[in-house]
Amino acid sequence: MLRKKIKKFDLKILGVGLIFLALINFSCQRDDICPDSTPITPLLRISFFDFENPEVPKPPTNLRVKAADMDSIFLNRVNLSEINIPLKTDVDFTEYEFILNARTITDSVSNSNTDKIRFTYARSEIYINRACSYKVNYIDLRIAPQPMEEDTDRWIKNIVVEEENIENETNTHILIYH
Amino acid sequence: MKQTLISLYTISIFSLFNFWSVNSQTNLDTIQYKEKYGLRLGIDLSKPLKTLLQDDYRGLEIIGDYRVYKDYYLAAEIGNEELAITEQNIGATAKGSYIKLGADYNAYNNWAGMENVIFVGMRYAFSTFSQTLEEYTVSGSSQYFPPNIIEGPFETKGLTASWIELVAGLKVEILNNVYLGANVQLKRRITQTTPSNFDNLAIPGFNRTYDESLFGVGYSYTISYLIPLYKKAKD
């Protein structure tokens, strides 16, 4: 009788213990890394169009993209009609150089042309979860090209802000005509 | 003839044993073992130990139970904790006090004269605390710009949480009236208030929380002293 009772109880304890272990395991696996599927700070999505034919996408030739205050290059000599670039999350502006016909190291002939654009915005920090921490959404995006006095030879003819609030990367935020 | 004698002898010995054992059993039954009833008070040993060993932890918990009827005990815990959670991209500290109220059931049928406890129990727990966001790194899909690390502390006071706990464990009498114990707890949150635009990464008494889950886990190693108030025969 006594033994039976102990045995029965042991099984119960074991059961509870197993549930505990399972729960600990389960929870650890879920929380540790930020999954790729979670939306984090979005990139700025830019589409290039033909200035003459505004409906036609037109990739700039050998485009180099680089933040004005960074030594490293973000994109080098790409020929894409659509690019995604990061904006700074610690200040309310980011200045980029868009270099058309960017030269290679050995090339000193190509007629490269640098246009600067300053993006200004407000930032809204949003908590995601313990693995992904916070993301930043950009609000009220504005663009300011370099003044004509500083750059008389521009390859970018027109810039349109399609979406002022940058919350995801599904839609184009900026249209550049050249 | 000889064989019959031996068999008779054996039978008589067996019957004698039998008689003796029956006799002793009746004797045992007639002794009335009285069990102690009283208030058992103690502390969770794991918390002061963790306070000594871990830089990011400080805590103390007082435990108590009162034997109400046979195998049933009223039980309570009161504690104060400061726990830090450090994840890869975020760090936070929870600081506050908690109380747990409930009952235990002793499922162990003791040998005569022993008073150990193997119990299952339930608690309602309530905590008031503050949550401090110590530091975080903004998550971006590009590593082009240096990581944006924002340092606090940003403290939110006056937060509360409540939860239900299932407890299972044991208490063994190692010296007269002195008990060593261990238990595990499964917790399920009922209510909580969180800082705005943030979450509770830990709650005093509940331990760390899990994203998208209301459950939590915990354990205790206890030492307690039984203040015997009266004795009562075991059935």
- Per-residue pLDDT at A150: 76
Do both B123 and B11 map to the same domain? no
Q: What is the pLDDT of residues A130-139, one digit of tens each?
A: 999 999 999 9
Which of B170, B211, B235 is best to mutate for the A interface (most A CBs within 10 A)? B211
- Per-residue pLDDT at B59: 96
Give the chain A residue whose CA is nearest to the CA of B86. Answer: A130
Comparing CB atoms, the residue among A19, A40, A67 nearest residue B141 is A40
CATH number at residue B90: 2.40.160.20
ipTM: 0.77
CA–CA distance, B129 with B125 (Å, rounded to integer) = 13
pLDDT, tens digit only, all 235 positions of chain B: 455 555 555 545 444 444 444 444 445 555 667 888 999 999 999 999 999 999 999 999 999 999 998 899 999 999 999 999 999 899 999 999 999 999 999 998 888 778 899 999 999 999 999 999 999 999 988 889 999 999 989 999 999 999 999 999 999 999 999 999 999 999 999 999 999 999 999 999 999 999 888 999 999 999 999 999 988 887 6
pLDDT > 80? residue A3:
no
Neighbouring CB atoms inside 10 A of B120's CB total: 18
Task: Tell me the chain B residues in contact with residue A129 when contact means C-beta distances shorter than 8 Å.
Answer: 199, 211-212
Average pLDDT, chain B: 88
Residue A141 forms beta bridges with which residues? none
Do both B225 and B128 map to the same domain? yes
3-state secondary structure labels for all residues of B89-106: CEEEEEEEEEEEEEEEEE
Asked if B181 contacts B138 with a C-beta cutoff of 8 angstroms, the reply is no
CA–CA distance, A61 with A100 (Å, rounded to integer) = 6
Peptide bond before residue A147 is cis, with ω within 30 degrees of 0: no
Say if the Cβ atoms of A131 and B88 lie within 8 Å: yes
- Per-residue pLDDT at A151: 75
Residue B172 DSSP class: E
Do both B89 and B18 map to the same domain? no
Do both B214 and B110 map to the same domain? yes
Asked if A127 contacts A34 with a C-beta cutoff of 8 angstroms, the reply is no
Give the chain A residue whose CA is nearest to the CA of B195. Answer: A127
Do both B23 and B139 map to the same domain? no
Asked if A114 contacts A98 with a C-beta cutoff of 8 angstroms, the reply is yes
Domain containing B15: what range?
1-31
Residue where the block lists tokens 């370099």 = A146
pLDDT > 50? residue A145:
yes
- Per-residue pLDDT at B179: 95
CA of A168 to nearest chain B CA: how many angstroms apart? Answer: 12
Task: Tell me the chain A residues in contact with residue B108 when contact means C-beta distances shorter than 8 Å.
Answer: 6, 9
CA–CA distance, B92 with B115 (Å, rounded to integer) = 43
Do both B74 and B27 map to the same domain? no
- Residue A171, C-beta contacts closer than 8 angstroms, at least 6 positions apart: A45, A162, A163
Q: What is the pLDDT of residues A28-77, one digit of tens each?
A: 545 678 888 889 999 999 999 999 999 999 999 999 999 999 999 999 99
Number of domains in chain B: 2
Do both B75 and B175 map to the same domain? yes
Do both B20 and B55 map to the same domain? no
CA angle B211, B60, B161 (to 5 degrees): 35
Token representation of residue B13: 């010995």
Residue A92 forms beta bridges with which residues? none
Convert B147-160 to b/e letters by CB count within 10 Å (16 or more is b).
ebeeeeebebeebe
Count CA within 13 A, CB hemisphere, residue B150. Answer: 17
Give the chain A residue whose CA is nearest to the CA of B89. Answer: A133
Cβ contacts below 8 Å, chain A against chain B, sum to 109
- Residue A13, C-beta contacts closer than 8 angstroms, at least 6 positions apart: B118, B168
- Residue A47, C-beta contacts closer than 8 angstroms, at least 6 positions apart: A57, A81, A82, A172, A174, A175, A176
Q: What is the pLDDT of residues A76-128, one digit of tens each?
A: 999 999 999 999 999 999 999 999 988 887 777 778 899 999 999 999 999 99
CA of B197 to nearest chain A CA: how many angstroms apart? Answer: 6
Say if the Cβ atoms of A90 and B120 lie within 8 Å: no
Say if the Cβ atoms of A131 and B201 lie within 8 Å: no
CA–CA distance, B165 with B46 (Å, rounded to integer) = 18
Cβ-in-10-Å burial (0-12, 13-18, 19+) of B202 comes to buried
Helix (H) or strand (E) holding B174: strand B149-175
Do both B98 and B11 map to the same domain? no
Do both B89 and B14 map to the same domain? no
Task: Please name which of A23, A33, A22, A28 lies closest in space to residue A129, comparing C-alpha atoms.
Answer: A33
CA–CA distance, A5 with B156 (Å, rounded to integer) = 50
Q: Kindly state whether A3 is in contact with chain B, defined as any CB-CB distance less than 8 angstroms.
A: no
- The pLDDT > 90 percentage for chain A reads 61
Residue where the block lists tokens 């039984």 = B226
Do both B65 and B147 map to the same domain? yes
Instruction: Kindly report whether the global pTM for this prediction surpasses the value 0.90.
Output: no
Average pLDDT, chain A: 85
Task: Tell me the chain A residues in contact with residue B139 when contact means C-beta distances shorter than 8 Å.
Answer: 34, 40-41, 128, 132-135
Q: What is the pLDDT of residues B13-54, one digit of tens each?
A: 444 444 444 444 445 555 667 888 999 999 999 999 999 999
When pLDDT is cut at 50, 70 and 90, the band that residue A14 belongs to is low
CA of A108 to nearest chain B CA: how many angstroms apart? Answer: 27
Token representation of residue B125: 């727990």
- Per-residue pLDDT at B111: 81
Task: Please name which of B39, B44, B42 lies closest in space to residue B59, comparing C-alpha atoms.
Answer: B44
Do both B58 and B97 map to the same domain? yes
3-state secondary structure labels for all residues of chain A: CHHHHHHHHHHHHHHHHHHHHHHHHHHHHHHCCCCCCCCCECCEEEEEECCCCCCCECCCCCEEEEECCCCCCCEEEECCCEEEECCCCCCCEEEEEEEECCCCCCCCCCCCEEEEEEEEEEEEEEEEECCCEEEEEEEEEEEEECCCCCCCCCCCCEEEECCCCECCCCCCCEEEEC
- Per-residue pLDDT at A21: 59
CA of A11 to nearest chain B CA: how many angstroms apart? Answer: 12
When pLDDT is cut at 50, 70 and 90, the band that residue A148 belongs to is confident
Say if the Cβ atoms of B88 and A125 lie within 8 Å: no
Comparing CB atoms, the residue among A27, A43, A133 nearest residue B142 is A43
pLDDT > 50? residue A1:
no
